[in-house]
Every structure is written in structure tokens, then in C-alpha cells.
Amino acid sequence: MSKPVIPHSMVLEEENQPLPGHYSRNRFMSTEGVTSSISTINIPASRNSYLNAKDSFLVFTAQVEVEGTVLDKDSILLDPSGCAAMIKSITVLNNNSVVQYLDSYAKIHSMLHTAQADVDSRGIEAVLSGTSNLNGLVLTDSYGCAMIGQPLNEYGTFVTDTATKIKTAEMTFTLPLLGLLSEGVIPLAFLTEGLVLRIQWQNDVRNFVYAYNTLVPTTTGSITTPGKLEITRCSFDAAISVLDDAAQLLVEKENGYKSRPTEWSGKSYLAAVRTSTAQELATSTTAEYNIGGYTFSSLCNIHYGSFTLPVGDSNPPNIPHIAHSLRYRINAIERPREYIDSLSKAVQHTACTISSVSQSVACGLMNNLYTSANFRTIETPSAANIKFTDRGVIGVALNDFASANLISGLNTQGGEVIAQLRTKTVTTTKRMNTYFVATFDVVYVIEDGIMKLSF
């Protein structure tokens, strides 16, 4: 005899309503009007105010001066990673103390962008940051995004245009700041002093500009000097929510403000670099590299990528490539057990570093047509028009279990992280810089009005 089905009792609850307040966008200008080195931006602590870090971004205007040989209006391109390649490092300070510091910012941004982005889903963000453009002259057989970098003459008529010197028009970019202040809401109201953003710019234009004539590759130019980068009108466009006094009191009561620290979690990044010599890359060999400083309580992922030297030739300076087979030995255990020695394995392992379903899994910037498993610096440019720049990374996930935005990484405190690298015999005379980028969990803490970072 079947048992009767007794429905659950209905529970009615009031729908949560937004706290009373208003939303605004505030633009905080840098203290330097014109600079080629450092921009400093002050974000003041203000009453009942909260900074939405995810919806805030950096805005700046850049003008580039390039010197070299056989230069023309079509031969000078912005690196395919976009305007992020212009940034060397970013520091966040509070109360004259460093809260967060990202060195090699351009490399970190480029590697994570290669792992997580796809060729068309970023839309207007890709256009504003200069990572893609529509150019029918280059893509004569079909229209679409030419992922080779933006020709600088498309931002405006050059101020100076000769075979040995080019000075661009002023170019304005918009860039979300990757990995800084998490993607949460920063309670500026809980701080006694505001935040300071300090952006250090690249001191050599060859770190973000390269010479490749997309129409006549046989007459490739070359950038021979560090040139000059001039930054003006740098600002932080911030999304600010301001609560009413009654709503602010509710928030303070819920978070135990002044009675206990205010905490929230996020992600941060750390880059390490080694030199892969030409001799190593030209022979079949095995090398180990002890990655110092990777001592975290929750190490989530490690991304690998090798970069060509920024010497002003036809190789984009800020695009990662796969030049080795790879695995890690972490706390005396190999991860993964077998070497990642094929493109399919590299893509599969990298996809595991993305905690949620992403378009990049199906149509990312790595695929069998445009990514080489054993890349070497291009020494003789192809006579064919280029449409896509070779790029690739190897990501290895180290989470203890499948998770989305949880503290579940591997504890490497007291242990060591060693990269085990293998190369195949591929003819080359150029060395490369190999980067390892760690993604790790952090906890932001505000106590006594001062922000700190714990990891």
C-alpha cells in the first residue's frame, strides 16, 4: 500500500530590499599631470561609502615615441595583450603600508587573459583595452578580430611619421585592474585613511610595441631604442555606493564594526621568472626550477608561459607561448603525475583552473591552429600576412576539490614548489623568459580602520 505524500508546509518570507542609498561613478585623478614613470591615485575614505571593485577601472591617455629602422604607418603595432602591457607593476597602499603589490603585471594579465578569454566574447572591453580590432585590410578573405595587436596609426594620425621615428597621436584606454582588491565591495567607510593606487609604467616601449608590417611582411621594420611613453589624464573610474545613515548603522551592526575585524576573501597573484637559454631550447633536455616565494596557505593554480625577448622585432613582447613540457613537484609530490607534453593536455589542464563554465573552454585563444606545443622565437618573418599571434599557457589546478570561489587551495607553507621542464630539439638561437604565475587565496582584513592582507 502506497504511503500518502504530505507536502511541505509553505513558508512565506519578505523579499530582501536594497538598502537605502545612492550609486555614483567618481573619477579620481592621478596627482601627476604628465608622467613617464609612476602615476599615483588617491581614493579617499568617505562617510557611508563602498567601492565596487569589480565595476571600477583605470582610464589613461598614452602617447608613444618610437625610433628604429624601416618604420612606416602599418608596421608599428600595440602588443596583442592590449594596453595592460604598458603597466610594469601596481601597488595598493593604506595608511602608508603596502596592502597588495603585483609586479610583472603585464605578464600576469597576458597569461590569465590567454587562459580565460576567448576571441570575441569580451566585446567592448576588448576594443577599449586595445586587445583586438576589426581590420579588413589585414583580413582580406574574411572580416573579424585580428588578434595580432592594434596598428597604432588607427588611433589617429601620427604626429611624426618618418622611416626612423614615429610619434603617435594620443590614445585613450580603459582597463579593469586584474586581481586588485578582489572583486568584492570595499568598505571605504570603515577606513580611517583612504587607499592609494601606484601604477609604475614600462620604461621601454619595446615591452608593449612591436614592428611588423602586416601588409608587406618582407619589409619588416625594427625598433632600436627604448623610445618614450608619456601618460596623461590617468584616473581611476570608481563605482561608489553611498548608504543612508540608517542603512549604514544596520551594516555596522551586522558586521560587528569596531567590535571585531571586517574580513572578506579574494584572489591574488605572484609571478616568478627564469631564463630559458637558447642552448636549452635547442636540445632535448630536462631542467628543474625551484620557484621561491610560493609559500601560501591556499595555492590554487599555477600558470606557465614563455615570452620572447622585447627587442623590437616581429615577435610580440607580451604574449605567452608553450616552449616546454611541464609538471610540478609540490611538497615532494608530482602534480600532475605525468608530464603535460601535448597541446590537448595543456588545454585540458588549463581549463581545470577555471572554476565555472567559460566560453574559453570551447573557443579560447589556444587551439590546434594557432598554438604551438614547442614554440621558439621567430627569427625569419613569414612572407604571408599574419592574422593570429601564436599564444599558449599551461595551467595546473591545485584545489583540494572542485570548488567555486572557496578557500580550497594547496598549503605550501614549509614546503617547496619545483617546476620540472622538458624541451625537444627545435633549432633556435634565441633565449626566452619563462614565467610562472601563482593564483592563491587571500583574506582582506580591516581592523582599527587599517586594511591588511593575509595569505
Cβ neighbors of 441 (< 8 A, separation 6 or more) are 265, 266, 267, 296, 297, 298, 300, 407, 408, 409, 455
Beta bridge partners of 281: none
Closest CA to 87 of 44, 142, 130: 130
CB atoms within 10 A of CB 213: 22
Closest CA to 369 of 392, 348, 396, 351: 392
pLDDT value at residue 136: 44
H-type helices in 158-311, by residue range?
A: 245-254, 278-282
CB atoms within 10 A of CB 100: 21
Q: Do residues 371 and 388 lie in contact, with contact meaning Cβ atoms separated by under 8 Å? A: no
Buried b (16+ CB within 10 A) or exposed e, 415-424: bebbbbbebe
Cβ neighbors of 173 (< 8 A, separation 6 or more) are 59, 60, 61, 62, 82, 83, 128, 129, 130
SS3 372: coil
- 157: cell is 594620425
- 229: cell is 611613453
Q: Is the bond leading into 7 cis (omega within 30 degrees of zero)?
A: no
- 360: cell is 574559453
pLDDT value at residue 411: 86
The rounded Cα 60 to chain-centroid distance in angstroms is: 17
What does DSSP say about strands 228-243 and 299-307: parallel, antiparallel, or unpaired?
A: unpaired
CB atoms within 10 A of CB 53: 19
pLDDT value at residue 33: 87
Buried b (16+ CB within 10 A) or exposed e, 18-50: eeebeeeebebebebeebeebbebebebeebbb
pLDDT tens for 360-379 read: 554 466 666 667 788 878 77
Backbone angles phi, psi at 186, to 5 degrees: -95, 120
Closest CA to 198 of 388, 32, 349, 47: 32
pLDDT value at residue 356: 52
DSSP characters for 271-319?
A: EEEEEE-HHHHHS-EEEEEE-TT---SSEEEEEEEEE---SSSSS-TT-
Q: Do residues 134 and 146 lie in contact, with contact meaning Cβ atoms separated by under 8 Å? A: yes
Q: Do residues 316 and 210 lie in contact, with contact meaning Cβ atoms separated by under 8 Å? A: yes
Backbone angles phi, psi at 29, to 5 degrees: -85, 155
pLDDT tens sequence for the chain (455 residues) = 455 656 666 676 766 666 777 888 999 999 998 999 999 999 999 888 999 888 888 999 999 999 988 887 777 888 888 888 999 999 999 999 999 999 999 999 889 888 876 555 455 555 555 555 544 444 344 444 556 778 888 888 899 988 899 999 999 998 888 767 667 788 898 899 999 999 999 999 999 998 875 555 555 678 899 999 999 999 999 999 898 888 888 888 877 777 788 888 888 899 999 999 999 999 999 999 999 888 888 888 899 999 999 888 888 889 899 999 999 999 888 988 889 988 888 888 888 887 554 445 544 666 666 677 888 787 776 655 566 677 889 988 887 655 445 567 788 888 899 999 999 999 889 999 999 999 888 888 988 889 988 87
**Rounded distance between C-alpha atoms, residue 229 and residue 202, angstroms:** 8
Which whole-number Å values give the CA distances from 399 to 116, 396, 455, in the listed order? 17, 9, 15
pLDDT value at residue 240: 92
- Which sequence spans correspond to the domains of the chain? 21-454
Q: Do residues 38 and 234 lie in contact, with contact meaning Cβ atoms separated by under 8 Å? A: no
In this prediction the pTM is 0.85
Beta bridge partners of 410: 299
**Rounded distance between C-alpha atoms, residue 69 and residue 223, angstroms:** 7
Cβ neighbors of 214 (< 8 A, separation 6 or more) are 74, 75, 77, 135, 137, 138, 146, 148, 151, 385, 386
**Rounded distance between C-alpha atoms, residue 216 and residue 230, angstroms:** 29
SS3 49: strand
**Rounded distance between C-alpha atoms, residue 65 and residue 226, angstroms:** 9
- 417: cell is 614548489
Q: Do residues 134 and 145 lie in contact, with contact meaning Cβ atoms separated by under 8 Å? A: yes
DSSP state of 385: P
Residue whose cell numbers read 571605504: 188
